[in-house]
Structure 1
Amino acid sequence: MYTREQASQLRQAFWTAFGQYMAPVLSAEGLKVNWPNYKTGFKNVYFRMQADKKTASIAIEITHPDPELQEMFFEQFQALKTLLHETLEEEWTWELHATDEYGKTISRIYKEIGPVSIFNKEDWPQLISFFKPRIIALDAFWTDAQYSFEELR
């Protein structure tokens, strides 16, 4: 068992290592990207990578406080579902109006793996191998798809 501080340091060490590993990888548009903190350019639309002591996930999260607008964003992603899954080369799980760990209503499109632990350095290669191709694919998808969301901005 780790203290809260040790757990925080291990998490930070993993995400720093992941960021350094991904640093040479340019975006689909040939730009430098902060992969662990990917910016979509849209408020309330995030590409999130998370890992804990049991699982890891990568997700498109729609956090708009207005449930109707959140649903409109989700429906726009659904309209692009074929493109998304073709770009990712796999199918993801779709959840409209789920509740996050803070009790907020969000919508998510995600892929999860387990059992893996961010606290076990032996799992880090598996975590990196899980996150890397998917965040690169999300970037490639978003390069084309983001323009479909302009009217929701």
Structure 2
Amino acid sequence: MYSKEEAKKIRLQFWEQFGKRCEIHPLLRERRKKWMLHRTKIPGVALRFEADRTDAKVILELSQRNEDKRLKAFEIMQNYKVILEDGFADALIWEFFHEREDSGQEVARIYNVLPGVNIFRQNQWLDIFNFFIENMVRLEENFLQIRDILKEELDNYQ
């Protein structure tokens, strides 16, 4: 078991090493901005990485505070499920309700998971990094195909 300070240090090292891996990965070398993340051009829609003691996730998160608008965004995404899941070996996990541990905020999530990995095991970092890169590239590309439609429909939603 790690102290709070030790765990924080390991997490920091993990994300620093991930950044270095992104700099040299062939899929990312030519990109000016490595990841879209919060720059989706749609308020309340973000892409996220998450890793903990049990798994790693690549997430498309809907965090609109208005529950009706979040439900509408989730429904729109479901209409384009075939596009969002294109290229993934297994179906993405669709979770309408998730409470974020860090903030308690209610969000909806669409994600892919790599089970059985632990951020505190350095010998698993490369597997997590490769999972993150391959799956986030795919999720970003698929999201970009429907982004304008989602933005327009949410802008028109009252």
Task: State the TM-score, normalizing by the size of structure 1.
Answer: 0.86
Paired position in structure 1 for 2:5 = 5
Q: Distance in 1 between matches of 2:5 and 2:39?
A: 28
Deviation (angstroms), 1:42: 2.0
Q: Does structure 1 retain, via aligned residues, the 8 Å contact 2:36–2:140? A: no
Task: State the TM-score, normalizing by the size of structure 2.
Answer: 0.84
Deviation (angstroms), 1:58: 1.5
Paired position in structure 2 for 1:119 = 120
> Structure 1's 37 and 96: CA in aligned 2 closer, same or farther, altered over 3 A?
closer
> Structure 1: which amino acid aligns with 2:61?
E
Q: Does structure 2 retain, via aligned residues, the 8 Å contact 1:36–1:49? A: no
Indicate the SS of the match to 2:85: helix
Indicate the SS of the match to 1:111: strand
Question: How big is the alpha-carbon RMSD for the aligned residues of Structure 1 and Structure 2?
Answer: 2.1
Consecutive unaligned residues of structure 1, counting only runs of 5 or more, are: none
Q: Distance in 2 between matches of 1:117 and 1:26?
A: 24
Q: Distance in 1 between matches of 2:85 and 2:5?
A: 38
Show the 5 A alignment for 1:1-153.
Answer: 1-24=1-24, 25-26=27-28, 31-35=31-35, 37=37, 39-101=39-101, 102-151=103-152, 152-153=154-155
Aligned residues: 151
Identity, in percent, stands at 26
Q: Does structure 2 retain, via aligned residues, the 8 Å contact 1:94–1:110? A: yes
Consecutive unaligned residues of structure 2, counting only runs of 5 or more, are: none
Q: Does structure 2 retain, via aligned residues, the 8 Å contact 1:19–1:35? A: no
Q: Distance in 2 between matches of 1:108 and 1:121?
A: 27
> Structure 1's 37 and 149: CA in aligned 2 closer, same or farther, altered over 3 A?
closer
Q: Does structure 1 retain, via aligned residues, the 8 Å contact 2:47–2:59? A: yes
